[in-house]
Chain A
């Protein structure tokens, strides 16, 4: 049962255009969402996050949108740059079995290629 889904394994975008990466989730108990970027042979690096009580968060070229009714999360990168080419993971946090215990669930990732 995959609770966090990134349905597009790959995405190609022209440099300077907008990249939109999507993430769907099924668990309404997720309270926090994050995006990480991963280059080959490196660990993931944090990009941006959003609390479930918000619907938008911006940080420079990166904006995350949350649609709770649709259980949908998206990451917008504007303008896209060749250095953005990487695998992007969305992740969601939920608590379980009592107060103070949390679990992170990741999607399988979307490989973004930004074409110069």
Chain B
């Protein structure tokens, strides 16, 4: 079974731009959640989507948004990029998500650098 796939692997943007990251979950998984990893803050939960609906949300500003398609693939968008948005962005998939305490399967992440 193919794992969680995130594209692109690396991305360089400048301040003020916007960026879209993509995540394809494991086949059959309906939940996709997104995380930001930085050296200073560690791993932080952004949001979770299940069956095309945002079900859970972390404490990030509205510049961070996402969506999920009918095939469970998910995209995360960050608008008006700031230097502090430079991070490794990880997505994870599971059958039913955080609410059911299932283990999450993570992708390898997208490393975003904002210059």
List residues of chain A with CB under 8 Å of any chain B CB. Answer: 32, 34, 36, 41-46, 49, 51, 89, 91, 93, 100-109
Contacts and interface: CB of A to CB of B under 8 A. Distances in A.
Contact of B42 (A42, A49, A103, A108): A108
Contact of A100 (B33, B55, B92, B106): B55
A59 to B, nearest CB: 11
B99 to A, nearest CB: 5
Interface residues of B, number: 25
A100 B104 CA distance: 18
A111 to B, nearest CB: 12
A44 B43 contact: yes
Contacts of B56: 101-103
B43 A43 contact: no
B8 to A, nearest CB: 14
Given A42-B108, A45-B106, A106 B101 contact: no
B15 interface: no
A109 B99 contact: no
Contacts of A34: 103
A42 B107 CA distance: 7
17 contacts: A32-B101, A43-B105, A43-B107, A43-B109, A44-B104, A44-B106, A45-B105, A46-B105, A51-B101, A91-B43, A101-B57, A104-B33, A106-B43, A106-B44, A106-B45, A108-B41, A108-B42
A43 B106 contact: yes
Contacts of A45: 105-106
Contacts of B44: 106
A82 to B, nearest CB: 22
Contacts of B103: 34, 46, 49
B42 A43 contact: no
B90 interface: yes
B98 interface: yes
Contacts of A106: 35, 42-45
B42 A107 contact: yes
Given A44-B43, A106-B35, A108-B43, 17 more contacts: A32-B101, A34-B103, A36-B106, A43-B90, A43-B105, A43-B108, A46-B104, A89-B42, A91-B43, A93-B98, A103-B56, A103-B57, A103-B58, A104-B45, A106-B43, A108-B41, A109-B42
